[in-house]
Amino acid sequence: MARATTKTEKKSDAVLDLKGVWKIYTMGDVEVPALSGLDLVVKRGEFLSIMGPSGSGKSTAMNMIGCLDVPTRGKIYLEGHDISSMSESDLAQIRGRKIGFIFQQFNLINTLTALENVTLPMIFQNMPRQERITKAKKLLELVDLGDRMHHKPTELSGGQQQRVAIARALCNDPEVILADEPTGNLDSKTGGTVMDFLRKLHEKEGKTIIMVTHDEHVAKNADRIEFLRDGKIIKTIKK
């Protein structure tokens, strides 16, 4: 008889577990499946890349993983907790505590300095002001922007803006970092610098990183590459 997996063991092994996840959008009388029974396990401390052509379901999968949406059917477990039927307010709390986002468009607020952009998510976690500032300064120094923290995004290069976004993603010490085409708007040299930081976070800080990319060269930074087509995994490549 197989031994039952304890809750502690589950948490120590998989940080994310998608089981038979479907996402179906209704357009008039037509149902369009963006995900078709997606099964995906992400282990704690893993660096995973997700690749696939346009319309393969990459963005929808990221929305599910990032607690930005709930599935039509199927289950999603984050650190052993079922998040597939949670309310939007509960999902927002989990996003703030457990997940850090890095976007292709950076999504920085142009009227705020780099320091203020990094402190912003900590406000919603009720962190005291001085603690927010101290932590944001340390994070900006971590991404080599200690001398640019009082500059606004329009005064920074694309690579510097993306590094501000990385610092912001780390501000609440998330378990999982989701990177959506993090080098998509950068030249190859600057993109390489950004990937160096992501690898450092993975190798030195032990962060779990899930990255969506169309760039095979960028994807090869990961421990594992999952290829999506028609809303499900069709191929897996491991180092």
pLDDT per residue over 17-67, tens digit each?
999 999 999 999 999 999 999 999 999 999 999 999 989 999 999 999 998
- Contact 178/99 with Cβ under 8 angstroms? yes
* pLDDT for 13: 83
* pLDDT for 2: 40
Q: The pTM is what?
A: 0.87
The chain-wide mean pLDDT, for the chain, equals 91
Whole-number Å distance between alpha carbons of 117 and 29? 43
Q: Which two tokens stand for residue 45?
A: 């401390």
Question: Is 3.10.520.10 the CATH classification of the domain at 46-58+87-238?
Answer: no
pLDDT band at 93 (very low <50, low <70, confident <90, very high): confident
Beta bridge partners of 22: 36, 73
* pLDDT for 73: 95
Q: What is the pLDDT of residues 141-191, one digit of tens each?
A: 999 999 999 999 999 999 999 999 999 999 999 989 999 999 998 999 999
pLDDT band at 97 (very low <50, low <70, confident <90, very high): confident
Whole-number Å distance between alpha carbons of 7 and 212? 29
* pLDDT for 12: 52
State the Cα torsion 98-99-100-104 to the nearest 10°.
180
Q: How far is CA 45 from CA 14, 48, 145, in A?
A: 9, 10, 25
